Structure 1
Amino acid sequence: MAEEKKSKLYALKPLIERWPAITKPEGHVTFRTKIFWTLLCLILYFILTNVMIFGLKSNVIDLFAQYRFIMAGASGSIMHLGIGPIVTASIILQLFVGAKIINLDLTESEDKAIYQGTQKILVVVMIIVEAIPQIFGYLQPTEGLINLLGGNTALANSLIVIQLFVGAMLVFFMDELISKWGIGSGISLFIAAGVSRAIFTGIFNWLPVRGGELSMTNPPAGVIPGTYYLASHLTLREIVEGGYQTLFFGNARIGYTNSIVAL
């Protein structure tokens, strides 16, 4: 009878047992070791967020660019998907188990192992599900990449999907590495890192809003350098006649949104 009550997910057990995974520590992990792996993954994460997708057009359409840091992603980079697939897979599986659609008792070690293994497989599925739609109107290959591949647009799109897949898998393995050998959760660490970077660059970024040379219509993007630049180039009359609105509330027309009020 006990065998009949087992979840159908046990059919995945042979695959789960062969699935690549980070080895668990056999004994106590020292604090120095935890710090080492946590910092290593954090540094690697920041490096990967600056590795742009090869062959991608510069005018990337990302409807959620301003909020992508919440999912520890970086628009246009191989970390574009961030922790999205991991979180989605976890939520789906938790809902199915909680609703008893999947018959698993997480208090049992064997069922818990099947649950965790299934989640890893589902993460890979969600990476593919989330990566493929990106090439339809959002992340498009350059003409140079298409020509390099003999004019095969499908192959160029596939190359972009592969890069997204590799980036998301690296996030997944780093999350698992931190969970087993580091401090806390990799997901929480990457979210905190993404938010911290967004705050830091939003305050101190001295680069122009739209690139190129600095001007009154293309000020520094950061709050502090942007406010200083605008205030030092505006006359008192210009400030009174409306310049204060740009200083305090920003100016969407020129793309300057990191204003004093935003800070």
Structure 2
Amino acid sequence: MESLDPILERLITVQRPKKALPLSTRLMWTALAALVYIIMTITPLWGIHRTAPTGAAASIFYNPLVSTIFGTTFGTWAQLGIGPIVVAGIIMEILQFSDLLPFDLNDKKDRLRFSAFQKLLALVMAAGETAATIATGTFGQLTPIEALAVFVQLLIATQIVILLDDMIAKGWGFGGSAINLIILLSITRTFFVDLFSWNMPTFPNINPADYPAMQLPLGFVPALAVAVYNTIHGISPGILDLLFRQVPPSIALPDVVSLAATLALAYIIVYIEQMHVNIPAAYTQYWGFRINIPLRFMYVSVIPIIFTAYSLILAEQIVAGVAALTGGISPALAVLLTAMTPARILTPDYIVLHILLYAALATVFAWLWGQIGGIGPDEYAKSLVQSGLHVPGFRQSERIMARVLKRPINTLILLSGMIAGTLAAIGDIFGVWGSGIGLILLVEIGLGYYTQILQEGLMEVYPGLKRVLSQ
């Protein structure tokens, strides 16, 4: 890797602030980062000829769910979103855990090289995805000049996102990463559309006159206003048509059922997120001083459900592609293909299979991420021992601490993955806004920001508290 040092040293980066910034200043920089990304989502790419994706790759990489998770907006400078950064980060974590990279993350210089190499990998992945997108005709037929212009624009856009992430991670912004911020913005945008969009819903090959659900505005608030007006004047569609708006076979529009499901599921997620499992521990240097180490009940949930959604979408497209080549699929496979799709389908076979698929895959991915993501009992035990903690009745030892933590942490990893997958699937079935996965991400990221703001605000009011906690 040392041969890449000249390249890594030339990557554009953000310097850390000379001193710790107050919370208000960091919130201002975070708001600026959000504004920059919002501008990127409405800045069109020069040189493209299509306003909607086409081609074989479009159904996978520009699936609405994938677009929401990765914060992508087709045809704009946010075309790639955070996809290259997220995928590069996961690849680096896997390679580092497998000892395939020669980085010692306990060494400051190696940590900097690891971070720089991850940025370089993100740029490489952005270049590869852009080239594939252009080659498959997703943007339409481009001249060489137009193709080069699109390629350069998306590389610059990815570099901007990397810098935004670097700025927040190094202490200028708030939240530790721009990744969470962009995911939050993307899901919030979906919620805003579902609430306030005045556009009329349109779908290919479907006549709005055949379905009252399509004769009301897309957003719930304007649809409610129109429905109330129509009811007062005895016109259809009215209030009753807003209770359950669905265009066959499974296109759910914002309605009373989906609103109630969104609020109910959000409450359940918030409640579960507040649950903890306490592990008794004691400080080695303060004899007799004991504390409880709170382990989150939802120990790991975000990464597994993102993997689950992406893998199901990919599997769905593979099965559909095979069916197109072979001229059809068996009835059993057709049922499985339908179960892979996030939709509001209230048939027993879909409900059972969709929940089982999500729960099983999320559990598997949670276990895998627990092994390679640096959140397993060995890593947790190491951090606790370094903090001067040990298990009462045992001597201070990473091995002993890891053995004590192994059972509860592994159990929480499996449970949190299964519960996250089940809740995401239930959200899809009831048509929650932003999808079940989107709602889980929204609540988790929102709670994380809220908790951090409270903690840092408290420490600014009581500076001595920060010194006590750091000890």
Instruction: Give TM-score, length-normalised by structure 1.
Output: 0.79
1:157 deviation in Å? Answer: 2.4
The match for 1:58 is 51
What residue number does 1:34 align with?
26
Per-residue deviation, residues 99-138 of structure 1 (Å, max 9, x unmatched)? 0111221111122121111111111101111212222132
Separation of aligned partners in 2, 1:176 and 1:167: 14
2:106 aligned partner: 107
Residues 1:130 and 2:129 are matched in the alignment: yes
Do residues 173 (structure 1) and 171 (structure 2) align?
no
Partner of 1:250: 246
* RMSD of aligned Cα (Å): 3.0
**Which has the larger displacement, 52-61 or 186-195?**
52-61
Alpha-carbon distance between aligned partners in 1 of 2:75 and 2:215, rounded to the nearest angstrom = 22
Contact 2:230 2:236 in 1 (8 A): no
In structure 2, relative to structure 1, the CA distance for the partners of 1:252 and 1:223 (3 Å cut) is farther
Matches within 5 A, 1:165-244: 165-180=155-170, 181-184=172-175, 185-210=177-202, 217=214, 219-229=216-226, 232-233=229-230
Read off the aligned partner of 2:91 and give its amino acid letter.
Answer: I
SS across alignment from 1:183: coil
Is 1:262 aligned to residue 258 of structure 2?
yes
Which of 147, 150, 159 aligns to 1:157? It is 147
Going from structure 1 to structure 2, the CA distance change for 1:99 and 1:245 (only over 3 Å counts) comes to farther
What whole-Å deviation, never above 9, does each CA across 1:46-76 have from its counterpart, x for those lacking one?
Answer: 1211112223312333423422121122222
Separation in structure 2 between the aligned mates of residue 78 and residue 42 of structure 1, nearest angstrom: 14
**Who is 2:83 aligned against?**
84
Structure number with bigger Rg: 2
Call closer, same or farther: CA 1:160–1:133 in 2, change over 3 Å: same
Contact 1:175/1:187, CA 8 A, preserved across alignment: yes
Partner SS, residue 262 of structure 1? helix
CA contact (8 A) 2:245 2:252 kept: no
Give the C-alpha shift of residue 210 in structure 1. 4.1
1:131/1:218 CA distance change after superposition, 3 Å: farther
The CA distance in 2 between the partners of 1:76 and 1:219, in whole Å, is 28
Q: 1:119 to 1:41 in 2, by over 3 A?
A: same
Rounded Cα–Cα distance in structure 2 between residues aligned with 1:93 and 1:23:
22
Distance in 2 (alpha carbons) for counterparts of 1:252 and 1:190: 33
Cα distance in 2 for residues equivalent to 1:165 and 1:237: 52
Note if contact 2:195-2:219 (Cα within 8 Å) is conserved in structure 1. yes
Change (3 A) 1:173 1:157: same
Displacement of 1:93 in angstroms is: 1.1
TM-score (norm 2): 0.46
Question: Residue type of the partner of 1:175?
Answer: D
Change (3 A) 1:65 1:104: same
Which is richer in strand? 2
CA distance 1:18–1:223, change in 2 (3 Å): same
- Measured in 1, the distance between the counterparts of 2:120 and 2:195 equals 40
**AA paired with 1:38?**
T
SS of equivalent to 2:81 = coil
Structure 1 residue 231: deviation in Å? 6.3
When residues 134 and 225 of structure 1 are mapped into structure 2, their CA distance, relative to the original with a 3 A threshold, is same
Cα offset for 1:41? Answer: 0.8
Contact 1:219 1:256 in 2 (8 A): no
Q: Which of the pair has the greater relative contact order for Cα pairs under 8 Å at 6+ separation?
A: 1
Q: Higher helix fraction: Structure 1 or Structure 2?
A: 2
- 1:200–1:161 distance in 2 versus 1, CA, 3 Å: same
- Structure 1: which 5+ residue stretches go unaligned? 1-8, 147-152
Residues 165 and 28 of structure 1: CA distance in aligned 2, closer, same or farther (over 3 Å): same
Q: Which residue number in structure 2 is paired with residue 150 of structure 1?
A: none
Structure-1 separation of matches of 2:2 and 2:109: 10
Quote the residue 1:120 is aligned against.
Answer: 119
Offset at residue 171 of structure 1 (A): 1.3
How many residue pairs end up in the alignment? 241
Distance, in Å, in 2 between the alignment partners of 1:73 and 1:59 is 13
Per-residue CA distance 1:221-241 (angstroms, 9 max, x = gap): 21232344356558989779x
**Using the alignment, how far apart are the partners of 1:137 and 1:245 within structure 2?**
41
The letter of the residue matching 2:174 is I
Q: CA deviation at 1:256?
A: 6.6
- Cα distance, 1:244 vs structure 2: 5.4
Contact 1:54 1:160 in 2 (8 A): yes
Unaligned runs of 5+ in 2: 260-471
Distance in 1 (CA, whole Å) between partners of 2:104 and 2:225 is: 60
What letter matches 2:107 in structure 1? Answer: E
Cα separation, 2, equivalents of 1:130 and 1:199: 28
In the other structure, the counterpart of 2:331 is none
